Amino acid sequence: MSKIVLIGAGSHVFSRHLITDILTYPELRDNTITLMDIDEKPLDFITAFAQRIVKQYGFGTKIESTTDRQQALEGADYVFVTIRVGDRNNSPDDRKIITKYGVEGSPDTVGAGGVFYGLRNGQVILDICHDMEKLCPEAWLMNYTNPMSIISWAVSDYTKIKNVGLCHSVPNTAAQLAKYMGVPYNEVSYWVAGINHMAWFLELKRQGKDAYPLLREKFKDPAVYSGKETDNWQVPDIVRAEVFKNFGYYVTESSMHMGTYVPYFKKRQELIKKFKLAEPSAAQLEEPRRQQDDELHQQLTADYKFPLVHSGEYGSIIINSLETGRPSRINGNVKNNHLITNLPEGCCVEVPCLIDKQGIHPCFVGDLPPQLAALNRTNINVHEMAVRGIAEKDKTKLFQAALLDPLTAAILTIDEIREMVDELFKANKKYLKGYK
């Protein structure tokens, strides 16, 4: 019997999906699921859900719950991490500081916001891995916490733990492309590689034939991609359409994210308006989460039968293949050990991975088209300096990471970036113990 641990289990959306996904596999139902969070209230909430769904279906799954991280990790076989350091109300408001300087960027994946989000989350995840080295050294770490590339790179270089970073942007984008083309999702296949949130559909096929000509034909009508997206940002997909038209391949993640990773779309207010990239407020982002929490609370207080429907997240798919030997393929974030040959060796890349009982096997990709590799490298520069800064607790390297961000550099001078980063250091003072 295996022990599956969820660190940050109070993240209800992820935890609910992961628990349900595990239980959809008959072979995984007799395992132990250990839920851990430092906040007892959301932990109790998700524990009640887990106990309810196990009881409803009469499964033999053992549900454990604890606020003690080391107790949770003792003897673990699989460890999911879905943490956010600092609660939503009291964590530093990096977005407010960055926006004050005229940079409207995603606060948790790239740019100065991503660097400092990585500082807070990355330090704790490295601590989790060091605990794992003592308590469950053979366990797999499956990380869902952003910034994915920075954290995965740090774990690979500074710990001994087997790990893979997981993100749903590849299958979500594939489903959206099927909608754009007006074809069933189950007729679409793909080969995707690059870096997290900036991976590329190197092949897009429908029933074995190249589907890019169909997508290009559809995109001659801007109405196809100018409606509301179906992701949490709820913005038109104009940026990704522009990148596709000019660089030749479709990118994963949303237009809101992609607009932040390159210098073309968010450096002036008229461009933000043109490409419909005005960011939603914190309250707007929080509202769907609040509604989901309210819905789950109502379901738990009523006699609601929770359905056993797989969410499509990769985590349980990986465990099932490792446990049963039944092969599967996912896109994972892993160390670039000669996988993408025109990206820096050792960086974090997102590539197809085959999984069986012997482990997770990243696939060789070779060279990306040079224009795509060039775009990836501009963000890998930021990742590398952030990783070194976080692991070595070096403020200078973190400042240099912000200097190298394409969008930040398109808007601010060196002195302005230094001033902004100094403000971010002050706001994050409680997380800087030991920094030089």
| Alpha helices (runs of H) in 302-413, residue ranges in sequence order | 315-324, 370-392, 395-404, 406-411
Cα–Cα distances in Å, from 121 out to 177, 266, 339, 387?
32, 26, 27, 12
- DSSP state for residue 144 in the 8-state scheme: -
SS3 312: coil
Residue 252: which of 271, 266, 239, 235 has the closest Cα? 239
Q: How far is the first Cα of the chain from the last one, in angstroms, to the nearest whole number? A: 45
Active site annotation includes 168: yes
Residue 116: which of 413, 412, 366, 408 has the closest Cα? 408
Residue 6: which of 60, 58, 77 has the closest Cα? 77
Report the C-alpha gap between 391 and 158 in whole angstroms. Answer: 7
Contact 365, 392 (CB under 8 A): no
Phi/psi class of residue 262: alpha, beta or left (left: φ > 0; alpha: ψ in -120 to 50)? beta
Report the C-alpha gap between 280 and 286 in whole angstroms. Answer: 10
Which backbone phi and psi does 254 adopt, to 5 degrees? Answer: -85, 165
List of residues 6+ apart from 403 with CB closer than 8 A: 409, 414, 417
Q: Catalytic one among 12, 17, 168, 383?
A: 168
Q: What is the CA radius of gyration of the chain?
A: 21
What is the helix (H) or strand (E) element at residue 202, kind and residue range? strand 198-206
Amino acid at 189: S
- DSSP state for residue 81 in the 8-state scheme: E
- DSSP state for residue 232 in the 8-state scheme: T
Structure tokens at 148: 């994915």
Residue 111: which of 349, 368, 386, 357 has the closest Cα? 386
Residue 227, classified by CB atoms within 10 Å of its CB into exposed (0-12), middle (13-18) or buried (19+), is exposed
SS3 400: helix
Chain centre to alpha carbon of residue 242? 23
Q: Give the catalytic positions in this structure.
A: 168
